Amino acid sequence: SRRASEKLILEGRVKVNGVVVKELGTKVKGDDAIEVNGTLIERERNKVYYLFYKPRGVISAVKDDKGRRVVTDYFEGEKNRIYPIGRLDYDTSGILLLTNDDGELANLLMHPRYKVDKTYVAKVEGLVQSDDLKRLRKGVKMKDGHYSARAKAKVISSDRAKNHSIVSLTIHEGRNHQVKNMFEAIGHPVMKLKRETYDFLTLKGLTSGQYRELSNEEVKTLYENARKNSKLK
């Protein structure tokens, strides 16, 4: 507690960079060494959360044994040991969150019960019809035998000449290759896939390969929404 800390300081048991400091309210910097009773105390580890615009052709991991590019290659100079929260396929681009938070939020967001909505934009083979959308919305049987949950789906555009469609699909599950498997199940294989939103977060302001830190407010909202969704879905 603050009171107990003040007592330690007044008793001369606290050193900053090797010098006893008895004055209350002395300011320290992040890299100052603080000792209590001769023992160096560890600073609380800061949690960091990043929103990354993952390019296609990058592995959602911190290392790859085949030497391919991994997402953390984009975070040069980052001292924290960050890792991606969930995954995007090698050939999928878009929003990916990374953190060094080895517990709560990452677990919360990855746990099936807590899944928050994610919107994908897919370029798919063929012309997607309203019956196809109905099937996607209701849930389809995927090749892994699982049924997808209810989803939101709409056609953004279709190109008759080139015989492909651009479709937006919002899901809260995250099985392996889920979006690709859903489109395959309705006979419209995915040609290109991008994740555009993750809950309320978007790629606004970023270009492929760039990232930004999440604000405390955004982290707080992610927590709240994840908890809220676990009750609803």
Query: What is d(CA 188, CA 128) in angstroms, rounded to the nearest whole number?
Result: 7
Smallest separation (angstroms) from ligand URA to the CB of 178: 4
Which positions are catalytic? 89
Which residues, including other chains, have CB under 8 Å from residue 75's CB and lie 6 or more apart? Answer: 50, 82, 98, 211
Binding residues for ligand URA, rule CB under 6 A, total 8
* Beta carbon of residue 67, minimum distance to ligand URA (angstroms, whole number): 21
Per CB under 6 A, 179 contacts ligand URA: yes
Contacts of 41 (CB under 8 A, 6+ apart): 34, 35
Residue 89 or 218 having the CB closest to ligand URA:
89
Q: What is the dihedral of CA 200, 204, 210, 216, to 10 degrees?
A: -40
Q: Which stretch binds ligand URA (CB under 6 A): 49-57, 136-144, 153-161, 177-185?
A: 177-185
Contact call for residue 177 and ligand URA (CB under 6 A): yes
For position 59 contacting ligand URA by CB under 6 A, the verdict is: no
Residue 134 phi/psi, 5-degree rounding, is -60, -45
Q: Does 115 bind ligand URA (CB under 6 A)?
A: no
Query: Using the rule CB under 6 A, is 180 a contact of ligand URA?
Result: yes
Contact track, ligand URA, 120-159, x by CB under 6 A: ----------------------------------------
Nearest distance from residue 59's CB to ligand URA, in Å? 11
Nearer to ligand URA, 14 or 132 (CB): 132
Helix (H, G, I), strand (E, B) or coil at 216: helix
Which residue intervals of 39-177 are DSSP H helices? 104-110, 130-138
Q: How far is the CB of 193 from ligand URA (least distance, A)?
A: 6
Residues 74-113 that bind ligand URA (CB under 6 A): 88-89, 92
Q: How far is CA 191 from CA 48, 68, 172, in A?
A: 34, 22, 22
Residues 6+ apart with CB under 8 A from 89: 60, 177, 180, 193
- Distance (Å, rounded) from C-alpha 118 to C-alpha 122? 13
The pair phi, psi for residue 222, each rounded to 5°, is: -60, -45
Q: Which is nearer to ligand URA, 178 or 197 (CB)?
A: 178
Q: What is the nearest approach in angstroms of ligand URA to the Cβ of residue 108?
A: 19
Q: Which residues bind ligand URA (CB under 6 A)?
A: 88-89, 92, 177-180, 193
